[in-house]
Structure 1
Amino acid sequence: MAPVEFICHSKQLDQLCRASEGSIRSVPVAFPKMCKEILKRRGFGGIIGALAGNGAAADLTELVNRNLLRRQLRLPQIYTIPVVKSLYGLFMLLRARLQAALVTSYFEEHPDARALVFNGYLMPDSITKVVGEALGRRALVLENGFFPGTSQADTAGINFDSTLPRDPSFYAWVSRQISGERPRELVSRPSKQKAAELVETPPHYLFVPMQVPSDMQILKHSPWIGDMKHFYEVIYRLAERQPELRFVVKEHPSFPLSIQSHVCPHPRIMFANHNETRTLIQGADAVLTVNSTVGLEGLVLGKKVITLGNAPYDVAGMVLRARNEDELHAAVAKVSIWSPDMSLVDTFIRYVHNVFLVSGDVRKGDAAILSALAARANGLDEHSRLTAGFEEWRRAQNGT
């Protein structure tokens, strides 16, 4: 059996764990199996101690509150009821304590193992991440890739938290060291909404893709846009101040609640929830997004992009940034006379597709992707080599 390289406690990575032939040790997720395992390892007293939080490796309060907030955003009619909120919060805290105690015992059993987590922001994977950090263990964080047939795998995190460079000088340095063609499209997500007639869009508009308000991209990486209702209100004020502009908004197909009945309609803001996203990008003068992958698709399609939050593609010269409402008005006012550095965009996209992302789906698992994950975790892959090489080059340039 292969030596244990990773400890994993995830609903997403079952196939990967099975394919690993023992190099990934999977902590049970199902509640009965989890209780049985911790009883076997620590006895009845260990369960009572874990429920009480005795000897806990990490504080789990933030993770539980985050989980509750996501529930409240998706099902406010249920999870904002005080008694439901209190009971659910208590249940999740007790369950999280049991999970953390079991994950801790697995780490203690394998002192050289890293944490392997999917996304890292949501339970139960976030428990493995914070316990691993508390115990001084390194982590490898996985997620779906931006392009078909790819995955994210990074030692720091996913999306904006990752080690993907956002220094434009890195891409100038690396441009001749990478090969491979640009991808033609990003991963598409099928709409879950009911079919309806398509909306006819105006000749000129800014495309505004809404995002899932309970997602990590908004809860963690949106410093000033609180939710999609707030986002709409910002666009409304922008439309009022710049009367020549029109906006086409598309709500995220994966989120069940619409803001349309909760906002004030505007004659120059149109909802196009059933139009194809790629078509809306292609017809737009620019894409205005918090940090959606739609912004990256806009770059792939040669469009101008304005970001309002922390995005992995937020590289100076590639996008316009707006860190508050005044900056947004300024960015939109200049977008017609500004153009992105297309050479930089081309290198960035080729680097992301051919170097940063790993080939394959981490939720399925095969020999090739297991090898790629081990290389990334140990700093032996091309991304690790190139980012380390750039730092050496920059130090030499600075004489340090």
Structure 2
Amino acid sequence: MTDVEFIYSQRNNYEPLKAVLRSGMDCAPFKLTEGLKEFIRSHGVGELGRLFSDKGCSIDIRPSIEHNLLRRQIRLPLLYSNPLSVAFYRATTAMRSRLSAILIEDRLNAYPDASALIFNGFMMPASLLMEAAIQRSRPMVMMENGFFPDTIQCDTKGINFGSTLPRDPAFYYWAASHITGDMPQTLVKRSSKQKGEELTNLPADYIFVPFQVPSDMQILAYSPWIRDMKHFYEVLYQLAERMPDRHFVIKEHPSFPLSIQKHIEPHPRIIFANHNETRKLIEGSSAVITINSTVGLEGLAIGKKVIVLGDAPYEMAELVISARSLERLQQAITALNEWQPNETLRQLFLRYVYNVFLLPGSFKAVDADLIERIRKRGRGEDTHSRLLAEYNGLQQSSRSTL
């Protein structure tokens, strides 16, 4: 018997998790030299050719390589627009990816009862572990930073839109008696990487538009019609031309250093407020338009009307307005004065997310209590998992009697 209960694969949060789990978590080496040494010890020098063969491992590494390449092309466009750079990246990354994949496979084979513990899952090597776990029907515990301070997303299916958080309003009415605790009061603070000063002369009536990181999975995986932030701006420009009474205030994502402002045509009623505090921008707005940002959820917490353009975990009828085209977005803005979110649903949903779905805790301060909460979520022994299973069972029973 082995005491390894989790297989991990990345640097993100490795140290705080390992400090508590100790021998209960195993992870492949991060350094190439250490990984090669382990490969040779386990498989022998004669097997090194596997690292250069498309059949060297059972995990399909190509999607992960292309995801990573696309992120680099977005963040470093000058370097990765060169075909030679792209070819070199694919070739060198393929070898390292196969090595990581093989070492992950070794661990899954060595610890058949261990779950895959995955942070985010969109970038390598976490994406390789996720692919291998899905391929083997191995239990997964997906993690990501929570929507509010000192909270963590933890789910057996995915994160954000890909999680098990229900998007059926009926679930929250059904679960109302189990939803205890207060509404979230504090929002995430974001420090900008761009230089500048706070704007003080904002319009009296504006719609707040928080931009997102264009290389993030929220855009690459969950934004069906907005390609990137330049495209988002172009959509807003068309709206401003069509709706002369509307002002839009944009805040580019503070953790993304590349601004689009030098690459777009300015509009007098579209204002960039990159250095203003996000909460104040939400509070001063008449509504929030977002692709699927956490800021949309924060807008709901403050009581603002929210229009969602992409796939968001809070995209529900009666809670937000969904707009999947320019025309539908214009209609949604026109309807803002008359439309109101369902206040009962808003409070039930936010209290459920904050008190039931999200785990209290921080990756900066991992302790035994947080690890136990992660275990319970992974085993389906926590309140969220039990409520979801009971509700799904009732729905299945209801359908079978029809």
Q: Quick check: TM above 0.5?
A: yes
- The aligned counterpart of 2:49 is 48
Unaligned runs of 5+ residues in structure 2 are none
Q: In the TM superposition, what are the counterparts of 1:151-170 in structure 2 within 5 Å?
A: 151-170=152-171
Matches within 5 A, 1:43-82: 43-82=44-83
> What is the RMSD of the two structures over their aligned residues, measured on CA atoms?
1.5
Aligned to 2:370: 369
Q: Report the residue type matching 2:349 in the other structure.
A: F
Residue 183 of structure 2 contacts residue 347 of structure 2 at CA under 8 Å; is this kept in 1?
A: yes
- The answer to whether residue 17 in structure 2 is matched with residue 12 in structure 1 is no
Kindly provide the CA deviation profile for residues 272-295 of structure 1, in whole angstroms up to 9, marking residues without a partner as x: 111111111001000000001110
Q: Distance in 1 between matches of 2:245 and 2:336?
A: 13
Letter in 1 for 2:52: L
2:278 aligned with 1:280? no
Report how far residue 397 of structure 1 moved. 4.5
- Whether the aligned pair in 1 keeps the contact of 2:222 and 2:310 (CA below 8 Å) is yes
Q: 1:298 is matched with which residue?
A: 299
TM-score, normalization by structure 2: 0.96
Measure, in 2, the Cα distance between the counterparts of 1:209 and 1:263: 17
Residue 117 (str. 1) matches residue 118 (str. 2): yes
Does the residue aligned with 2:376 lie in a helix, a strand or coil? helix
SS for the counterpart of 1:48 is helix
Cα deviation 1:168-187 (Å, max 9, x = unaligned): 00011111212111111222
State the alpha-carbon separation in 2 of the partners of residues 44 and 188 from structure 1: 50
Q: Provide the C-alpha distance between the structure 1 equivalents of 2:44 and 2:360, rounded to a whole number of angstroms.
A: 43
Report the CA distance between 1:392 and its aligned residue: 2.6
1:3-42 mapped onto 2 (5 Å cutoff): 3-14=3-14, 15-42=16-43
Aligned counterparts of 1:75 and 1:337: Cα–Cα separation in 2: 44
SS in 1 for 2:271: strand
Q: Does 1:86 align with 2:87?
A: yes
Whether the 8 Å contact between 1:16 and 1:364 is mirrored in structure 2 is: no
SS at match of 2:36: helix
Cα distance per residue 1:328-366 (max 9 Å; x no partner): 111111011100011111111111111111111246421
Distance 1:131 1:394, change over 3 A: closer
8 Å contact from structure 2 (residues 50, 57) kept in 1: no
Percent identity between the two aligned chains = 48
Relative distance call for 1:363 and 1:53 in structure 2 (3 A) is: farther
Aligned to 1:390: 391
Aligned to 2:208, the other structure's residue is in SS state strand
Cα deviation, residue 251, structure 1: 0.8
TM-score by length of 1: 0.97
Tell me, in whole angstroms, the C-alpha distance in 2 between the residues paired with 1:194 and 1:178: 43
- AA aligned to 1:224 is W
Question: Does structure 2 retain, via aligned residues, the 8 Å contact 1:199–1:272?
Answer: no
Structure 1 residue 396, shift from structure 2 partner: 4.7
8 Å CA contact 1:51–1:98 kept in 2: the answer is: no
Segments of structure 1 that go 5 or more residues without pairing to the other structure are none
- The match for 2:133 is 132
1:326 aligns with 2:327: yes
| Number of equivalences | 400
**What secondary structure is seen at the aligned counterpart in 1 of 2:362?**
coil
SS, match of residue 335 in structure 2: helix
Alpha-carbon distance between aligned partners in 2 of 1:271 and 1:259, rounded to the nearest angstrom: 10
Q: Distance in 2 between matches of 1:360 and 1:47?
A: 42
Alpha-carbon distance, 1:147 to partner? 1.2
Contact 2:133–2:140 under 8 Å retained in 1: yes
Distance in 1 separating the partners of 2:185 and 2:73 = 37
